[in-house]
Structures are given as structure tokens and as C-alpha cells.
Structure 1
């Protein structure tokens, strides 16, 4: 994992924003990781981006707090983030990856409606982050594979957001191009 110091910095900022429940800052920090992950295509960086984005959505939707299992889930989620910071500070990549997997297991161990809601938040977070990586020029197939989603899900979401409609080949109008050529040959 090449971007270890960057991830560590982002995780510390996320932890700081968590104290204020500032989900907007947390979302932005996730987007910063997406930019990094689109260059490196490192699954660890992508996983952290998804975890952070999902956390921002969980905090944003206050209704989850009223479910019986939520306080314990949230406490463990935050503890995993803390453990990820500690692991990176100690350069323990194995422990860092263990904590990523532990967050996934936290969701699996939930029950009832809360499990369904949180699982859906994570599924949508994967699709959202995949669309942002695709937006940076990585192929749909490769992006979908990195995040463990289908190309269909990514294509559908990208179509809704307009990412695929961006015309990167917009050029100067023909009249302006002709004028430039005429000026060159004068």
C-alpha cells in the first residue's frame, strides 16, 4: 500500500470530523481518497474510501440512531477506525486490513431492519465511489471489479449522474479554427 501516509492523514481528519458529526467534511475526505485510488487503483484505498463515505451517510441519516443495535454498531465502527489509524502508525498493514474486514463483519452481524439499511448504505457507497473512479478515466469493467459490483450497476448509476454524458472532445467552432489557419498562412 503506497499511499499509507495519505490514508493515515485522512483517517485522522475523519476522526476529528466525527466528533462534530460533520458528515459533509467526511464525504469530502472520502472523495479525496477516490482521487488517490483512481491513480493507484489500490483496493485498500478504495475500501477506506467506501468505509468513510458510508460512515458519512450513516451519520447524515439520524433515524438509524433509534434502532436497538445502533449504539453498539456505531461504537465498534468508530473503534475500528481508531484501530486502523493505530495500525497505520505502527506500519501494520495486516492489522489495517483486518480492521477493514472487521467493519464488513459488523454489518453481517447486525439484524433486522438496521442490517438491511446499513447494508444498502454500503452497497450504494460502493456504487458511488465506483462512479467517481470511473469519472477519473478508469474503465467501467476494472472499476466494477475493484469494488465488487457489477458493470451493470455502475453503468446504470453513471447514466443517472450524467458522468457518461461528458463530452471530452469539445473543440473550437469551425469558424474559429479556419480563422487561426488563415492567420498562420498570412
Structure 2
């Protein structure tokens, strides 16, 4: 587990935004986490980024809250996040990992019709976050392995988003730079 203070801050923010039902802020927290995860390639950061993104997608769907099992699902998620924060404060990595896994299981383990919807969200969240890690320059194979998805799924998604088509920055040649400088000082 790397950057415990960052993970604590992210989880505290996640808890706050879940209670406020702010899916946009949750996505922002997930994106910040995935940036850190891309640099450190820490599986715990990656898992947290996927969980937060999944929660943002679930929270933005107001109709999910009307499905049977929502209250149990929601309360379980809030409880696991709080236990995760408490584990970080106690410097207890073992229990932190248990609660992160508990979050993943709760997201994947909803019941009834809610389960079908949420499992789909979780799968898509893994692919989305994998594409963001890949975008940061980590190999497709390593990214797929870190997130437990197939390279095929990642390649298919990355191909649809155009991630591989991003043009790298190019510098201007000397003549163009001089011309631009001359125009600026006219």
C-alpha cells in the first residue's frame, strides 16, 4: 500500500460525496486516484479508483435508489468506506485490504435486478480505468493484468476512444519559431 495519506484523503472525500450524492465529484476523485495509480502502479490505488468510479456511475443513476436492496447496498458501502478510513488511521494495512475487498464484493454482490445493473457498471468501470492507465503509458498487457480484464476488452475500448491515436507534441522548426517571435513583437 503506497501513499496512505492520499488514499485516506480520497476515501474521506468519497464518503462525503456519496452522502451528498455528487457523482461528478466522485468521478474527479477517481481520476485523481487513477493518475496516482498510473505512476505508482499500486494495485490498491487501482482498486480504489475502480471502486470510486463504479460508485459514481451507480450514484448518478437515481433510478437505482428505487430498486429493492438499495438501502442495504448503500449502508454497506458507507460502512466499508468508514472502516477503510479507520484502518488507515490505525496503520492497519491488513484490515484496509479486507475492507477494500469488502467494497468490491458489496458492489459486485448486490441482489435482485440491482445486481445485474451494478455488475455491468463494475465491469465497464474496470475497462474505463484500464484505458486511462494505458493512456498514461503503461503497457496494455500490464494494464489488463492489473485490472483483471482481458487485453481484448481493453484493446476494443481503447480503439473506440481513440486513445492510441493521440498525437504526440511536436516542436516547431526554427523558421516557424522565428516567424512567430517576430509576429509577437510587432
Fold equivalence (TM over 0.5): yes
Aligned equivalents of 1:25, 1:97: Cα separation in 2: 24
Aligned equivalents of 1:12, 1:166: Cα separation in 2: 34
The match for 2:9 is 9
- TM-score for the superposition, normalised by structure 2: 0.89
RMSD, aligned α-carbons = 1.9
1:18 and 1:116, CA in 2 relative to 1: closer, same or farther beyond 3 A?
same
Q: Does 1:33 align with 2:17?
A: no
The match for 1:59 is 59
The match for 2:23 is 23
The count of residues paired between Structure 1 and Structure 2 equals: 179
The match for 1:123 is 123
Structure 1 window deviating more from structure 2 (152-161 vs 30-39): it is 152-161
The match for 2:156 is 156
The match for 1:142 is 142
Aligned equivalents of 2:106, 2:93: Cα separation in 1: 20
Aligned equivalents of 1:30, 1:51: Cα separation in 2: 8
Q: Does 1:89 align with 2:94?
A: no
| Cα deviation code 1:129-185 (max 9, x no counterpart) | 1111111110111000000001111111111111111021645369749x9xxxxxx
SS in 2 for 1:137: coil
The offset of 1:66, in angstroms, is 1.2
- State how 1:158-177 maps to structure 2 within 5 Å: 158-168=158-168, 170-172=170-172, 176=176
Gaps of 5+ in 2: 180-186
SS in 2 for 1:28: helix
The offset of 1:107, in angstroms, is 4.0
Q: Is the Cα–Cα contact under 8 Å of residues 69 and 112 in structure 2 kept in the other structure?
A: no
- TM-score for the superposition, normalised by structure 1: 0.89
- State how 1:44-83 maps to structure 2 within 5 Å: 44-83=44-83
SS in 2 for 1:167: coil
The offset of 1:58, in angstroms, is 0.6
The offset of 1:60, in angstroms, is 0.1
1:2 and 1:77, CA in 2 relative to 1: closer, same or farther beyond 3 A?
same
